[in-house]
Amino acid sequence: MMPKVKSIQTDTTTLGIRWRRLVAFADEATVTLLRCAFSRNVTDGWDFSCALFDQAGRMIVQPTQGLPAFLGCLALSVADVVRSIPRHTLRDGDSYLLNDPWRGTGQVNDLTLVTPLFAGRRLVGFAANVSHAADLGGRILSGDSREMFEEGLRLPLMRAFIGGRPNPDLFELLRLNSRVPDIVLGDLQAQLAANLMLRRRVLEFLREERMPDLEGLAAEILHVSEMAMRRAIRNIPGGDYRAELETDGFDRPIRLAAHVTVADDRIHVNYTGTSPQDPRGINCCSNYTYAETVFPLICVARPASLINGGTLRPLRVSAPLGSVLNPRPPAALGSRVMVSQFLQAVIFRALAQAVPDRVIADCGTPAWLPVLAGTSQHGTRFVEMMFLNGGFGARPDSDGISCLGWPCSFSGTPVEFTESEKPILIKRKELVADSGGAGTFRGGLGQACVWQSRTSSPLTFAVRGDRISHPPLGLQGGLAGSPAKVLLNGTPVHSKETIQVQPGDILSLETPGSGGFGDPGRRARTMVEADLADGYVTPSAARELYGWGRT
Amino acid sequence: MIRGLKAAMRLGVDIGGTFTDVVLLDPRTRRLVSGKVLTTPDDPVRGVLNGVDEVMGAARASLEDVADLIHGTTLATNAIIERKGARTALLTTEGFRDILETGRELRYDLYSLSLEYPTPLVPRRFRLGIRERVDAEGTIVIPLDPDSLTPAMDAIAAAGIESVAVCFLHSYANPTHEQEAARRLRERFPKLWVSWSAEILPQIGEYPRVSTTVANAYVQPLMVGYLSRMEEGLSGRGFGGRLALIASNGGTIGVPEAVKVPISLVDSGPAAGVTATARLGRVMGTSDLLAFDMGGTTAKLCLIRNGLPGWTAEFEVARLERFQRGSGLPLAIPSVDLIEIGAGGGSIARLDHLGLLQVGPDSAGAAPGPACYGIGGDQPTVTDADLLLGFLNPAYFCGGTLPLDTDRARKAIGLLAEGLKRPVERAAWAVFDTVAESMANAALVHASEKGVDVRRTRLLVFGGAGPVHAWAVASRLGIREVIVPASAGVLSALGCLLAQTRFDLMQTLVADLDRLDVAKLRAVAHGLGTRGRALLDQAGVPARARRLRWSLDMKYAGQRYQVNVPVRAIPASAAAVRALRRRFGQVYRERYGREIAGMPIEIVTCRLVAAGPEPRIPVSLDNHSAVPSALPTVRPVWFGGRAIRTPVLRRESLGPGVRFSGPLIIEEAGGTVVVPPGATGRLDRQGSIHLTLAARASRRGG
């Protein structure tokens, strides 16, 4: 599995064992955060990521499960934090909190917690994670803010834990400013528990291996991953590839233009030509743009090595300052995913010119991530995100997948747990027939989720979706998937505004299906028939799109 | 009954993909008699009866004197993997039939564009929505609509459905709709199998519950048929004892429970082997082990730490990406945490389109079998390679009951050798090498998932093919100590006899510790205790031998996940509740490093493990077969590129304490132990062989 590199001193078996163990530690930290957390966006949506860093803040390993967007941001933000804190002021037991959108992940709600790891008095590395906090004040997370000041507290880089104990001033500040302080502070404790789990395992590991720190091992691991990525990039024909697409936007469509340059063993993505920053909360800061851009590049290159900071070295991303992908303060950012989750599609379309058999048709992104707020049937206040995924794009050799977390690996909101905690009745959560784009290989289906308010007080609902008028497109002759829909009592509502849901109201959401791949006329008859028997495709669509029944 | 159990003979049976192993424990002679016969895949019962006949004959004993027969089987697992289960339908709440397909919506590989998920066991066309609705409190929101059941039942009739899963939302809180639907189904179709989710898994969380219930329905007709044929065949031979099975939790369950919840038999065979390994490890004073079981079809690996195997509350079957969590079908049943790969003696070797050698995961199994069995197989397998390399004795495979044909093996491996442009023995070596590599890789992944450095464990090896390959796997992993217990070839069958009767019972109740209604908690516990005692009674466990282990799943209020807090007794006083609070804090701290001060605590679930006694390990595990001992011989054995003249001994000729060094082959009826050059070994008092490999010397065969 691991490539042999000349400069590596350790034999590959030993390096492999050590490397995999570090990954296992990151996995254990991930499970710790998941299991200790209080917010449903963590426990049900997996909206967080953990990773391990060396003394210089370089990301050595990332876990098996995490959000590529968060992991890409961590690769930049932890190095930034490490650079900005004088080494001699770092203390064992302290943990630093970062939520500045322009330095972290592009949204105040994402809390990045960085813990220096000490073996005795020696700094050996950093544990870090980023987790979406349920509420930091301001308006409910949404797309309709006009400045970031509406979106909650922006904190300076500061210690959240001092000597292992909560920083009382910060905790009190958060408590006073959050609608759900117990959940937010409980999650912060879970974030610390995850970093301390990594600390415990790394220190045991260093003792067992008789290594003073992670430096030497980190250098080897990063080198192996970098070389694997460079080799993988050489398998993509060099050249300039351009693509563009348009999204619904808030009040007006957003244009995303990518210029992908593959040169020898490097890739540069330039977003010149992209729309200027938007007056509403759908802007995406440069760290997050970077993360959502390197992710599809790795998917296409598929390096024969585990992914870490080394993988990212041959990749460069630039977006014009003042654009929707690199906004200036105080741009509003609350629904950045309504733009960022299109980036993989525009990258795939560009690379389809170079490696048409290694990309997929448009996915049903962005995931619907509405925020629901109100008072539960148990009398407690809640502000919680819901996760509804669309279809995953059709492939050159196989159908897409229905309802899959992509590009962020969100899990879907479960029905029974949700109803046990929130005053709603979910009336339907089901695939939508004909929502997968037709093609030789059909797109994955989107889902309909219909729920009704069962409470006597109004609920606040920040809608947060896109693709109402821009459905996911197909590739190589494949057709588009179905667009998204959002209806309140049967009437369409704005896809990014915050609305009030009155007692008894019925809210209906449909996530987009994904695009198809290849000419639908060439789809195997047996596959069309199976789709019909299972109701993934209706008879009228089969006749119209696949010519079924004509021959 | 008690007297009977002590004095009577016991049979353990492990049905693998290739071999069925039978072990008879005879307390009168304190002896183990074992046999290994080919599995009969078309009807595994025949193989079991063949094996039982053989062993009873060798022991000159009668089945009438056998008190119990306990067996492990991978039949349920294989039915799911090979999609050989019943034609199954799902009745579910209208509007929610796709939960089975969309699952958690979670990707198992962050960077793969070629992700695939297993096709649901029930295709969408047979997932039928029923108009009904219960809410989270168990209140009926929409009464079960009989008019929507009728078309569903018509569809079931039209499609020739054999088994139905019923899973409605929130049925754990109120099962009446599921019960009513099941009743109407049985009324109209008396022969139909019906599984309802509140009976299989009364637990919140729609996806794990529906997935488990559907899998249960899918395997039920097959498993019930199998069990009744087994009962019939055994009673026809005079067996009047108790027939029991190993469940995936490593304990034993009787036929009535197995018929009701056959899904709890998934991975039952491997669980028995692991149970035996853990027990043996404790006897040997070795608590950190890597158990390595290699049979004819698959190899299983399980890490044992502090004398106990890992446990998992959710088990995945039929993974499409063999090492990727999330790529299989989840079953929410407590089970032993092990990794299984398609690498066994019967694994077929071939060259792929790039001309590279691939071994497995498909196996020639018992039919047509490896080429050297001479029963129809002609494809090259691992066993054929082992034979050509001199590891196996063609006249003493399975104690000579299954003579091997070297010419056929040579012909089969010869086809590979042509493609590889190498001499036959070199090609055989490449097969041996490749299969060792893939097993070592699986071991590494499994140990790494637990964060364990595999080099610091010892390899405890068993299964028919295990002791041939153990040294090669160990040296790749940097493990220097290999233990081959006596009866290694039939250890899983023996494990069946070491397993406890065990029932895992649970009841959800959500209670705030600050306002705990002690009487209510004790009423829940009382109910569980009554059920547990009744189940143990049914299983013939005497009152004095009962072991009841209590625990509570607890969490901070607002968390989703709980930690399991073992308690000596269910708290009855305010002081006991305070102690419970401290105990929770302690367990939480041990697990996650720290407590959260001032956060309210909740009890979520009360659990009871009701178990019988741990059966004793017989004084000697030494295996007695009727075959007479032979004099030591010498034969050429290939280690890497060269053949070395290697002494060959019979295991029964070695006495306790004896020391030896490699190269050496030690043969016994149940298997062959290969001691590579440079390794040293000794036999301990329990009859286990301990090998110490030369540091790195044996990599690539020395």
ipTM, 2 dp: 0.95
Q: Are B494 and B23 in contact (CB under 8 A)?
A: yes
Contacts with A425 from chain B: Cβ below 8 Å = 133, 135, 141
Pick from A138-142, A344-348, B432-436 the range whose average pLDDT is largest: A344-348
The pLDDT of residue B281 is above 80:
yes
**Phi and psi of B377, rounded to 5°?**
-75, 145
Least confident of A174-178, B352-356, B623-627: B623-627
Is pLDDT larger for residue A164 or for residue A12? A164
Residue A229, pLDDT > 60, answer: yes
DSSP B171-204: TTT--HHHHHHHHHHHHH-TT-EEEEHHHH---S
> Residue B250 has what pLDDT?
87
A180 interaction partners in chain B (CB closer than 8 Å): none
Say if residue B485 is preceded by a cis peptide, omega within 30 of 0.
no
How far apart are the C-alpha atoms of A73 and A499, rounded to whole Å?
31
Tally Cβ neighbours within 10 Å of residue A468.
Answer: 17
Would the pLDDT of B450 be above 80?
Answer: no
Q: If residue B629 lies in a helix (H) or strand (E), which one and from where to where?
A: none
* Distance of residue B148 Cα from the nearest chain A Cα, in angstroms: 16
Q: How many CB atoms lie within 10 A of CB B285?
A: 7
Number of Cβ within a 10 Å radius of residue B544: 7
d(CA A55, CA A214): 8
Q: Supply the pLDDT for residue A496.
A: 96
Rounded CA-CA distance A386/A159 in Å is 30
What's the confidence (pLDDT) of residue B322?
66
Distance from CA of B16 to the nearest CA of A (A): 31
Token pair 């002590």 is found at B6
pLDDT: which is higher, A129 or A2: A129
Using an 8 Å CB-CB cutoff, list chain A residues near B107: 404-406, 409
Chain A hits for B95, Cβ within 8 Å: 427-430, 450
Read off the tokens for A184: 């937010």
Q: Is B123 in the A-facing interface, judged by CB distances under 8 Å?
A: yes
- The helix (H) or strand (E) run that includes residue B488 is none
CA–CA min distance B170, chain A (Å): 6
Residue A75: pLDDT above 60?
A: yes
pLDDT at residue A141 tops 80: yes
Is residue B690 scored above 80 in pLDDT? yes
pLDDT of residue B623: 53
| Residue A350 identity (one-letter amino acid) | A
- Measure the CA–CA gap between B433 and B700, rounded to whole angstroms: 8
B99-103, B340-344, B379-383, B606-610: least confident range: B340-344
Q: Which residues does chain B have within 8 Å of residue A46's beta carbon, measured at their own beta carbons?
A: 106
pLDDT at B441 (0 to 100): 83
Pairing type for strands B88-93 and B163-167 reads: parallel
Lowest model confidence (mean pLDDT) among A172-181, A319-328, B196-205: B196-205
Instruction: Please state, in angstroms and rounded to a whole number, the distance separating the CA atoms of residues A86 and B96.
Output: 55
User: Residues A357-373: what's their mean pLDDT?
Assistant: 97
Q: What local confidence, expressed as pLDDT, does residue A6 receive?
A: 44
* Residue A203 or B249, more confident: A203
Query: How much is the average pLDDT of A382-386?
Result: 95
Interatomic CA distance for residues A64 and A23, integer angstroms: 7
Q: Which member of A17, A359, A430 has the closest CB to residue B96? A: A430
| Average pLDDT taken over every residue of chain B | 89
The answer to whether B478 touches A13, Cβ cutoff 8 Å, is yes
In this predicted structure, the answer to whether residue A5 has a pLDDT above a threshold of 50 is no
User: A416 and B204: CB-CB below 8 Å?
Assistant: yes
Residue in B203, B162, B202, B197 with CA at minimum distance from that of residue B182: B197
Q: Where are the alpha helices (DSSP H) in B237-375?
A: 255-260, 268-284
* Average pLDDT score over residue span B461-479: 93
| DSSP classification of residue A326 | B
pLDDT the model gives residue A13: 66
* H or E element in which residue B25 lies: strand B19-26
Sign of CA dihedral B92, B98, B101, B106: negative
- Using CA atoms, how far apart are residues B609 and B621, in angstroms rounded to an integer? 29
Question: Which of the pair, B319 or A104, is modelled with greater confidence?
Answer: A104
Q: What is the CA radius of gyration of chain A?
A: 23
3-state helix, strand, coil in chain B (%, to 5): 35, 25, 35
> What is the percentage of chain A residues whose pLDDT exceeds 70?
97
Q: Give A239-260 pLDDT, tens digit per residue.
A: 999 999 999 999 999 999 999 9
Residue B141 tokens read as 């929101």
pLDDT at residue B339 in the model? 86
CA B111 to mean position of chain CA atoms: 31
Q: Is the pLDDT of residue A91 over 60?
A: yes
Task: Tell me phi and psi for residue B530, to 5 degrees.
Answer: -65, -45
Question: Residue B508 above 70 pLDDT?
Answer: yes
Integer Cα distance of B234 and B63 in angstroms = 8
pLDDT, tens digit (0-9, with 9 covering 90-100), for B386-398: 999 999 999 999 8
A vs B, Cβ pairs < 8 A, gives 174
- pLDDT at position A33 over 90: yes
- For the cut 50, the answer to whether the pLDDT of residue B1 exceeds it is no
Question: Does B451 sit within 8 Å of A416, measured CB to CB?
Answer: no
Q: Which of B181-190, B438-447, B465-474 has the lowest mean pLDDT?
A: B438-447
At B7 the pLDDT is 56
Q: Which residues contact B648 (CB under 8 A, 6 or more apart)?
A: B393, B632, B633, B634, B635, B664, B665, B666, B667
List alpha helices for A414-536, DSSP H.
415-421, 525-533
Q: Residue A186 gets which letter from DSSP?
A: H
Give percent of chain A above pLDDT 90.
Answer: 94
Quote the CA–CA distance of A549 and B665 in Å, as a whole number. Answer: 68
Task: Say if B594 is an interface residue toward chain A (CB within 8 Å).
Answer: yes
Confidence of residue B27 (pLDDT cuts 50, 70, 90): confident
Say if residues A114 and A105 touch (Cβ distance below 8 Å).
no
Tell if the CB–CB gap between B451 and A25 is shorter than 8 Å: yes
Could B110 and A409 be called an inter-chain contact, meaning their C-beta atoms sit closer than 8 Å?
A: yes
Closest CA to A341 of A432, A256, A441, A444: A256
Q: Do A536 and B112 touch (CB under 8 A)?
A: no
Tokens of A215: 């430096």
B112 token code pair: 């793969």
Beta bridge partners of B90: B127, B165
- Enter the pTM of the model: 0.92
Which of chain A's residues have a Cβ under 8 Å away from the Cβ of B141?
A: 425
* pLDDT at residue B701 in the model: 34
pLDDT, mean of residues B119-142 = 97
Distance from chain centroid for Cα B18: 15
Tell if the CB–CB gap between A300 and B101 is shorter than 8 Å. no
Which of the two residues, B328 and A479, has the higher pLDDT score?
A479
What mean pLDDT do residues B381-389 have?
97
Average pLDDT over residues A326-337: 97
pLDDT over 70 (residue B372): yes
User: DSSP class of residue A209?
Assistant: H
Alpha-carbon dihedral sign for residues B263, B269, B270, B273: positive
Per-residue pLDDT, B598: 85
Average pLDDT, chain A: 95
Is the predicted pLDDT of residue B305 greater than 90, yes or no?
Answer: no
Q: Is A186 in Cβ contact with B559 (below 8 Å)?
A: yes
pLDDT in tens, A390-423: 999 999 999 999 999 999 999 999 999 999 999 9
Contacts of B205 in chain A (CB under 8 A): 414, 416-417
When mean pLDDT is compared across A66-80, B121-135, B597-611, the lowest value belongs to: B597-611
- DSSP states of B87-138 as a string? -EEEEEETT-TTHHHHTT---SSTT-SS---PPPSS-GGGEEEES-EE-TTS
